[in-house]
Amino acid sequence: MTSELRTKKGSSPEARISLARAKGPAVPRGSVSCENVSVIPNLSVSALNSDVICDFPFKEMVDFHKAHGKEGTIVVTKVEEPSKYGVVVYSDQGRIEKFVEKPTEFVSNKINAGMYIFNPSIMKRIELRPMSIEKEVFPCMANDAELFAYELQGFWMDVGQPKDFITGTSLYLKSVREKNPSMLYTGPGVVGNSLVDPTAVIGANCRIGPNVTIGPGVVIEDGVCVKRCTILRGATIKSHSWLDSCIVGWKCVVGRWVCSINVIGLV
């Protein structure tokens, strides 16, 4: 199935994205595949890992990519313990020289943050087989002096694990407080940073926060306390329950007088 997304009326006719849904059985394709892909000439391609959270500085990334004029840009972020990761080594100008997997001595404290911009020419490097873009494509681009590093400012976190998702959400809410505080919930009983969808219903005498996100159609009955929680669309938290560091799934129901701590995927 193929569909097309276009920008609003009056924008450039080239500003469109073709979407193709893969057919057939789900099989591992590595971290990059060029099956059934068409590229519009002279337009860059952006990609990002779905399990990272940050402020996503897309405009700054694009400006940096255009300025250096090479084939690819990788966003990098600083970590405290680089020995746990594969690190990126690059020049003062940002040109990536090499990648070092879990270094035993200090060579860099910058790691791949999982956000990229590529020129269409990258497709020539991708074969019709499962490939690892990190291990097979990026090193070749670096050897050809075609890969640059953009240093991310502010917070970043891998949120691929549920406990890390909760921590990452807290970091995001802190960033919202600093940059766009009007987005945060200011209703009765709120403590600290929280986001609440306008369609959510919150009862009397509740304590919301800190670091809570409440999705569309959620119902929180009277006397509920939630902190460091994500409550997804359509869930119900019944009266006088107490939740700390939990993720409540879509359309799930938490009963009355429940005490739940560090529970992921309440159903």
Gyration radius of the chain over CA positions: 22
Rounded Cα distance between 207 and 9, Å, is 45
- Give the dihedral sign, CA 233/182/184/164: positive
Place of tokens 């991708």: 126
Give which of 95, 74, 94 is closest to 86, Cα–Cα: 74
3-state secondary structure of 158: strand
Q: What is the dihedral of CA 243, 244, 245, 249, to 10 degrees?
A: 0
Bridge-based pairing state of the strands 147-151 and 96-101:
unpaired
**58 CB-near residues (< 8 Å, 6+ apart):** 46
Give which of 57, 43, 55 is closest to 13, Cα–Cα: 43
Rounded Cα distance between 188 and 206, Å, is 8
Catalytic-labelled residue, pool 66, 84, 102, 179: 102
Q: Report how far apart, in Å, the C-alpha atoms of 81 and of each of 55, 59, 85, 104 are.
A: 22, 29, 8, 11
| Catalytic (active site) residue 102 | yes
Active site residues: 102
